[in-house]
A and B are shown apart, each in its own frame.
Chain A
């Protein structure tokens, strides 16, 4: 993780790159989050200044959209679909099992910083419910056993990197 000073430099460089774009704020916030993993609080005045917006406007946009996070996430983001198609094939049970397995609720990160658990309302994989997303990979027809194995893989990968 970069230190706070270089994070702000990154934000400023990106803001200057995007500010000429019509409706620049969302593309800019995406770029910042893709780079840093989240949108840090000190980025707000910098974005506001570069895009000629008020800090309240920037804060308002960040807090409106579920995707933008204000805290650093774990190394992997696991999203469980909670929408109707997945409900029809046991998503409610799966959700309870995953929360118990990881010992965390939605919007929380495991103590080892490996996994952040989030709800999602549809991944467009409704023909293969229940569906989950791990980072940018989507998995279909997932049951509790398979999900446990996938989560275990995420944790082993970390050990290998270390």
Chain B
């Protein structure tokens, strides 16, 4: 077998590549090479192509028929399509704020469930259940069962099912509040139906964060908290001063998931058929790239690049944070 193995490396240090036998090198090369090739080929090559396509006008029908138009798409997104881009972007920001609150609630649930609760697995399953449901199912459950104007549970409970008295949960794009940004024609604001939709999003997100955080809490050394209790910390102090700092790796994960989910939100709005007032960036990308009519690949890619850049900022922040610690 591998005869080339020399002295065992010092404790705690990883084996250098050069110390390995040829066969081992080939094996490791394959271990790394195959997944990397597949990943780069099918994720990063298309992602970079999208960046290139954002500088073209193309209907997506035949290869090679694209026309280079420089930054015109970017110019268009921020001028001609400002009435689409900024409301969508603003909805993403609302989502970000809202999901942060949901994440906090998820953390609370996890913290409570970690207190030797009898039947904890049952509570966990119930809170987590929305996460395992397909968006196609979630979309129907909310639109058909909860929000239907004529027979939905909300209107039934509120007694608002009579003709002319129905609450339009999914379609009413009236703004709850608005404000003007100088330079924009239309005011930005929160649509009523987007606010309603946030309920469904919360229903999913809280359980997701709860499970992640609970997993983290299980690994916190119980003696730490016992010590905090002996020191006379109250619940909040114990969490704030002892648990939260220890949970830093999980906190980072939850933070990134919250941001990324807020930025690339798409599924549930799509499942509800994109009602007016609920656009987000992911929908703009999709509509221009995938929809009928050949699509506007250039424009869609441009929205995509903007979205990509926003995501990358957080992805890089996260990764730097994560790996700096790991390598240290």
Tell whether A and B belong to one assembly: no
Q: Which B residues contact A (CB, under 8 angstroms)?
A: none
Q: Which A residues contact B (CB, under 8 angstroms)?
A: none
